[in-house]
Amino acid sequence: MTECLVATTTRLERYRMTMDQIRGEEYPMMATKTYLDHAGTTIPAKSMLKATYEDLVSNLYGNPHSEHNDSVRTSRKVDAVRRQTLRFFKADPAHFDVIFVANASAAIKLVGECFRDASEKKKKGFWLGYHRDCHTSVVGLREASKGRHHCFKDDRDVNQWINAGAQFNRDARRQRSKDQLGLFAYPGQSNMTGRRLPLSWSENIRASHLQDNMYTLLDAAGLATSCQIDLSDPRRAPDFMTVSFYKIFGGPNLGALIVRKVAGDVLRFQKDFGGGSVDMVISMGATWHAKKSELHDRMEYGTLPFQSIIQLGHAFNAHQKIYGSMDAISKHTTSLTRLLYRALTSLRHSNGRNMVVVYNDVQDYAYGNALLQGGNIAFNLIDQDGYLVGYTDVEKRANDYNISIRSGSLCNPGGFAHYLNWSPEEMKRAYEAGHRCSNPTQLMNGKPTGVVRVSLGAMSNVTDVDKFIWFIRNNYYNMATTSTARSHPIRHHNSCNNLGMYCDKAVDSATETLRSFDLASSSSEDDPIKTLRARVSLAQLHRPSTARSWVGNQFSKLNSRSKMPTKIAA
């Protein structure tokens, strides 16, 4: 690359070391890679791996179910890491407990099983409400509910349910008897778009008419990667929170269920049990058992993955040493996400048509606000004629450039249906026609069956963004697709890509285009912003089609000056 595509003057959050030092010392495995799939897993730090190795070759750790010294050492280590986990989320051990599990999906499944068993004991079934943007693992809980369940279509739908009381709950799917268990589940951050959802819902539900027997589950697997989750006030915290540590630290392959202790009683109804979770079991002549009293002891079956838990302790230490705080990571990733979003949405073909359509329900100012948006961007590419480029084709092409991204429906069925405009009937027909999430048909009925997702992490840098934008510009600028399975030309969509998409809505296209130019800078003496503003008259703004054509031609002239995209200012 001969030119930097993204301005590096942005004030990124400073860590304790420079980003070059961090990448060179801690992440040598990234030297030849552009890794942009941090929502899948982030990259483990070298110092964390080294500390784990040195610990395990220097100390002997036994099975914690034994009582010899090596086992006692393990038990103490596990207890210390459990406390360390709570400190990481600013949770008081007096009010919260940690149950170690395989991953966030396992934690979600555990909650569902406990609610199923508790509701069967009361012979009522439990009610499940879940947000449209939930991960597949959360949606799967409805199969355990054996009762009423409801998918909330958006945030407004949730807020109406919380605030409007019985008048809003005429829909039988929303109704539940007062003594029926209820569970409301939602993601802290969409694993598809990166949009961050309100964290106030748990507190609001407790203050509403729904409070009796209604519990909340926060899937924080995505949110925890680049956000300081603060559980210091148990009154505002969710009853259950799930995390996957490999998404935060790159390892170990371990997750946790963080439980508000006052909500822990519902978990005690779990019917089955395993080794280490009971104080006494009768296997012959009777079917009696007594579970342990501590919540985490009775919920963790068999021998804990103690070596992974030991590694988790070193992950906490290395993470704090490298980055200082989650707040610093949040500021860093937010700045990079803003740069990436602006760069993507400024890419245009020579005819003025956008090269990218971004899927989200937020305005463009959200990219730069950590309360509203995380480090994910979901999008599709558009060719010069307005047709979609296959998303798996983009991922495969990126592999040729040592760029790691994710494509598909991303285990987010609600987001897939909403943003790509698929009805339930259409999804069933697509399945019957052979489409599978794991073996997709990229375009069906003129519509995409997935997206491209780029996600940033703590150790991402401007060069990563720069290389990815260059990759798109180098491979897809003025491209015309040749596939016989073309989509319909992109004319409208239900997401908020507010940088001048060609759509048949009552939008002033010229104004939108000028707004996008506010993000552009030029090294030439003639400022394109001033030129455009001087030439686009009020009359043209009242004739969007004329103005759109004129502005597109002007942009083509600007864009043709270089084979590289316009530089993007912070």
Q: How far apart are CA 218 and CA 152, in angstroms?
A: 15
Is the link from the previous residue into 252 a cis peptide, with omega within 30 of 0?
Answer: yes
Which position among 4, 134, 227, 411 bears the catalytic label?
A: 411
- Using alpha carbons only, how large is the chain's radius of gyration in Å? 26
> Is 411 tagged catalytic?
yes
How is residue 160 written in tokens?
């109406």
Residue matched to tokens 């579970």: 291
Contact 354, 347 (CB under 8 A): yes
H-helix or E-strand containing 260? strand 255-260
Torsion of CA 68, 74, 79, 83, to 10 degrees: 160
What six digits make up the tokens of 150?
């409801």
Q: Is 529 exposed, middle or buried (0-12, 13-18, 19+ CB in 10 A)?
A: middle
Element (H, E) at 342: helix 326-346
> Torsion over CA of 18, 24, 28 and 33, rounded to 10 degrees?
70
Listed in sequence order, the residues at least 6 apart from 251 whose beta carbon sits closer than 8 Å to its beta carbon are 44, 48, 49, 245, 311, 315
CB of 127 within 8 A of CB of 181?
yes
Number of neighbours of residue 151 by Cβ within 10 angstroms: 16
What angle in degrees, to the nearest 10, is found between the helix axes of 69-88 and 306-323? Answer: 40
With vertex at residue 443, the alpha carbon angle to CA 440 and CA 448, rounded to the nearest 5 degrees, is: 95
Residue with tokens 């280590």: 77
**Residues classed as catalytic:** 411
